[in-house]
Structures are given as structure tokens and as C-alpha cells.
Amino acid sequence: MKTIIITGSSRGIGFGLAENFLRLGHQVVLNGRDQASLDKALEKLQESFPAGRMAGITGDMGNYDQAAALWEFGADRFGAVDIWINNAGIAQSQSSFWELEAEKIQDLVQTKITGAMYGAKAALTGFQKQGWGALYNMEGLGSDGRRVEDLTLYGTSKRALNYLTDSLAAEVKGTDIIVGALS
């Protein structure tokens, strides 16, 4: 049984990951920015899985203190963290880059890039202390350099995540820490 923290797991792909890891017998820490959404996700999972194998905490991964608090919560609740998955993100409407509001650009970059960096820092710091662990970044459209019209912002964020993943994997080479990507 492994303990897995999944950022952005109160809905969407993150929720699906949580559900499947629970189905495989693991312990999961869910995370999301909205308490009501997180509570709803936990209630739904508790219909099928023992409540003792899951926990949840709100937090914005665009805030390092909240990312670090997520690590501490998971480690305190389950004793150690085996896997951290950076999945938190927000969508972009398909439109030309110059038509996007500046706040939308900032929010997406803060969540997808800065949030992944803060999550990686929190996880890798914890893994260094405990001596092992695996960090996975959720890549997607744009990670491989592929372009889709009117998704420039989203694709750019995923391309940056690809670079972050490759660089961190090189930094932990030779240790008992794994850095990889899910796509």
C-alpha cells in the first residue's frame, strides 16, 4: 500500500486518479482549492472505499506555504508519502492569445507552472528527508511541442512542465527518488 498525494484531485482527471489508486488498495490525499468541491469528492469516494484510506485538504498550489502544508498533512496523516502527483490546473478557453484577459494568463501560469514548481519543491524536500519517493508531473497538450490553434497559453504551460520534469529527473539521478511525467 502506497500513500499518494494528488494535487487538483477534487474533480476531473485528478479525481479519476484518486478513485483508481483507491481501487488498487492505496491511500490517497486529495487536494483542491474549494472546500465544498473537496468535501463532495471525499463523500463520493467514501461510498465505495474505506474513509481511513483517504484524506483531503484544501490548498492553492500557487502558494508555496499551502503546497508545503499539503505535504505535511499527508505525511502526518499516513506516516510517509510515496508518490506526489502534480495535477492541479485550470482550463483555457480556445481563443487567440491576445484575446485572453491578463488575469486569466496570470491565474493559469500561477497554477500550472508555479504551482507545479511549488509542489515539486514541497515533495522533493520531503522525499529527501525520508530518503525515497516519486514525483510525477501531469503533462498534456503541448508537452511534446505539438501545437493546437488558439491554445497557446495552455500548451506553453505544459511545455514548461516538460522541461521542469526533465530537469528535476536529472537532479535526482542516482538517488532513491524518481521524477517522471504522466500524460
In terms of Cα–Cα distance, which of 117, 131, 113, 134 is closest to 5? 134
- Point out the catalytic residue in the list 64, 118, 136, 154: 154
| C-alpha to C-alpha distance for 60 and 111, rounded to whole angstroms | 8
Residue 154 bears catalytic tag: yes
Reported in sequence order, the residue ranges of 83-176 that DSSP labels E, i.e. its strands, are: 83-86, 133-138
The Cα–Cα gap between 89 and 12 comes to 10
What are residue 91's phi and psi, to 5 degrees?
Answer: -85, 165
Task: Give me the active site residues, please.
Answer: 154
